[in-house]
């Protein structure tokens, strides 16, 4: 028995990570004859496309999160959720080592996504605020609001400048979305709520190392979004690379600096690392190299999907797929179907990504949409963005509350959730975190199966 999960005649599929890919896979296995175990370090699925709205105080965390146990409450016998971090895999024993102990699998699927990549710069890593999860988005919101408060009472003009300069590094969708949201906060919220701050003193910089924003989209979208952001008062800096952070300054490669205490990092990602994997299967960006069926090379019963994997077998994407929710969802769907095929002895189908288009929102009535043969922007693009995202959010309650929030914010020009609040950490929780940290077994430590911990 692993983790008190009953051993039955059903084959056990262990999924690491309940993001778009892992969740889709688990959903599509609903009627299958497998036992499904989902392992995630959070007890909820996060709808990351709206995370910037949590960071800017326009949305509650619970509106874009859905507890896994709630998703699967009607699948008591075939579905198990375990709150744990995956540490390492022991393929010769078919065992996954996690922060709370080991778990046996018949099939193991990695769908753990990516973490922020600071390209080895410790100074940046220490101060940068990423937006990869709800916890970080809440932390960013708290820090931003705290800086506004502090800017009013601080002693020097220099400090005030540092507190009111916001530098966003990374011109992808998340970067432009948070830049847009902050510029709306500057325009609509600051004058009302912070009469002691001159709105123009709040300066928002969006920095992208490449020569255009939204590199995954069409040049037209890049151009439109940069133009919109500039109109909204965001300083868009293209073709400059952030090299360091020190003395409360963002330092560019060419030596230029921007003083700031708010460095928002949406720049690079690297795939989540799993201990004890054969280094030969780790490709570009730390991604796990898989074949056309998302099977990890050299392993029979280990798969990887979504951002964490690199699949170069799709003729249209010889360098691998972009790291997008759509890819993960489609891979999850196909892998579930292939598992069902496996059981009935059918041949498996290879993965082909069907690009449905992509979109990014910039602000009120402003968005850009690239469909396979069509680019458009403006109010209709914005409405489409809202509709597509609302539709994708899990659960009726969340859909309802997100919609109401949007309507409220749209009418009132207000982001109402401007609380600076940290949950108090109970002693029991701190102790458990320490205990679980001690069970960490990275690939450096785990030499053989004798070292497995219970």
Binding window for its own copies (CB under 8 A); candidates: 136-144, 265-273, 293-301, 310-318: 136-144
437 binds its own copies (CB under 8 A): no
Residue linked to tokens 């080991």: 102
Closest separation in Å from C-beta 189 to its own copies:
9
401 binds its own copies (CB under 8 A): yes
Which listed residue (404, 413, 445, 447) binds its own copies by CB under 8 A?
Answer: 404
Coil vs helix vs strand at 436: helix
317 binds its own copies (CB under 8 A): no
In the chain, the N- to C-terminal Cα span, in Å, equals: 11
Which listed residue (32, 43, 333, 439) binds its own copies by CB under 8 A?
Answer: 43
116 binds its own copies (CB under 8 A): no
Shortest CA distance to 29 belongs to which of 71, 58, 91?
Answer: 71
Closest separation in Å from C-beta 154 to its own copies:
9
Closest separation in Å from C-beta 103 to its own copies:
10
Binding window for its own copies (CB under 8 A); candidates: 76-84, 321-329, 355-363, 365-373: 76-84
Q: Which is nearer to its own copies, 104 or 370 (by Cβ)?
A: 104
Q: Which is nearer to its own copies, 392 or 416 (by Cβ)?
A: 416
Interaction mask 253-272, its own copies, x per CB under 8 A: --------xx----------
Cα distances (Å, whole numbers) of residue 37 to 68, 96, 103, 303: 11, 12, 10, 14
426 binds its own copies (CB under 8 A): yes
Binding-site size for its own copies (CB under 8 A) equals: 71
Which listed residue (9, 427, 434, 444) binds its own copies by CB under 8 A?
Answer: 427
Other C-beta atoms closer than 10 Å to the C-beta of 153 total: 8
With residue 399 as reference, give the H or E element that holds it: helix 396-412
69 binds its own copies (CB under 8 A): yes
DSSP string, 143-179: HHHHHHHHHHH-S-HHHHHHHHEEEEE--SHHHHHHH
Residue 264 CB contacts under 8 Å (≥ 6 apart), including other chains? 128, 129, 130, 131, 140, 166, 167, 168, 169, 175, 178
Buried b (16+ CB within 10 A) or exposed e, 188-198: bbbeeebeebe
Site for its own copies in 338-377 (CB under 8 A): none
Closest separation in Å from C-beta 1 to its own copies:
10
Please, what is the Cα angle at 313 between 312 and 318, to 5 degrees? Answer: 50
| CB 289, CB 282: distance < 8 Å | yes
Site for its own copies in 167-226 (CB under 8 A): 192-196
Which listed residue (27, 32, 62, 326) binds its own copies by CB under 8 A?
Answer: 62
């Amino acid at each position: 028995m692993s983790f008190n999960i009953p051993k039955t005649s059903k084959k056990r599929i262990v999924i690491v990570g309940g993001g778009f890919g892992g969740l889709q896979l688990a959903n599509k296995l609903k009627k299958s004859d497998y036992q499904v175990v989902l392992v995630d370090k959070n007890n909820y699925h996060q709808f990351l496309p709206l995370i910037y709205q949590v960071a800017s105080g326009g949305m509650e965390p619970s509106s874009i999160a859905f507890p896994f146990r709630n998703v699967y409450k009607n699948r008591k016998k075939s579905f198990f959720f375990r709150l744990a971090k995956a540490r390492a895999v022991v393929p010769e024993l078919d065992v996954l080592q996690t922060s709370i102990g080991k778990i046996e699998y018949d099939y193991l699927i990695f769908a753990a996504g990516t973490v922020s990549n600071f390209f080895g710069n410790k100074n940046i890593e220490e101060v940068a605020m990423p937006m990869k999860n709800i916890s970080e988005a809440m932390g960013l919101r708290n820090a931003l609001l705290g800086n506004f408060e502090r800017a009013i009472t601080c002693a020097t003009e220099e400090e005030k400048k540092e507190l009111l300069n916001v530098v966003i590094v990374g011109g992808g969708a998340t970067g432009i979305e948070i830049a847009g949201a902050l510029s709306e906060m500057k325009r609509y919220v600051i004058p009302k709520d912070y009469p002691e701050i001159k709105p123009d003193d709040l300066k928002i910089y969006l920095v992208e190392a490449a020569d255009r924003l939204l590199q995954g989209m069409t040049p037209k979208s890049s151009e439109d979004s940069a133009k919109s952001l500039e109109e909204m008062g965001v300083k868009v800096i293209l073709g400059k690379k952030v090299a360091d952070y020190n003395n409360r300054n963002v330092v560019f490669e060419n030596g230029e600096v921007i003083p700031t205490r708010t460095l928002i990092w949406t720049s690079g990602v690297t795939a989540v690392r799993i201990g004890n994997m054969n280094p030969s299967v780790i490709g570009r960006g730390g991604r796990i190299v898989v074949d056309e069926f998302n099977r990890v090379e050299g392993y029979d019963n280990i798969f990887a999907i979504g951002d964490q994997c690199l699949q170069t077998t799709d003729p249209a994407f010889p360098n691998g797929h972009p790291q997008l929710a759509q890819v993960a969802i489609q891979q999850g769907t196909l892998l579930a179907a292939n598992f069902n095929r496996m059981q009935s002895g059918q041949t498996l189908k290879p993965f082909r990504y069907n690009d449905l288009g992509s979109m990014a929102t910039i602000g009120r009535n402003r968005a850009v949409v690239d469909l396979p043969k069509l680019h458009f922007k403006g109010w209709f693009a914005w409405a489409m963005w809202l509709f597509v995202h609302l539709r994708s959010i899990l659960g009726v309650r969340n859909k309802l509350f997100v919609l109401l929030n949007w309507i409220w914010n749209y009418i009132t020009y207000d982001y109402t959730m401007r609380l600076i609040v940290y949950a108090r950490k109970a002693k029991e929780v701190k102790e458990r975190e320490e205990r679980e940290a001690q069970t960490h077994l990275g690939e450096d430590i785990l030499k053989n199966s004798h070292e497995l911990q219970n």
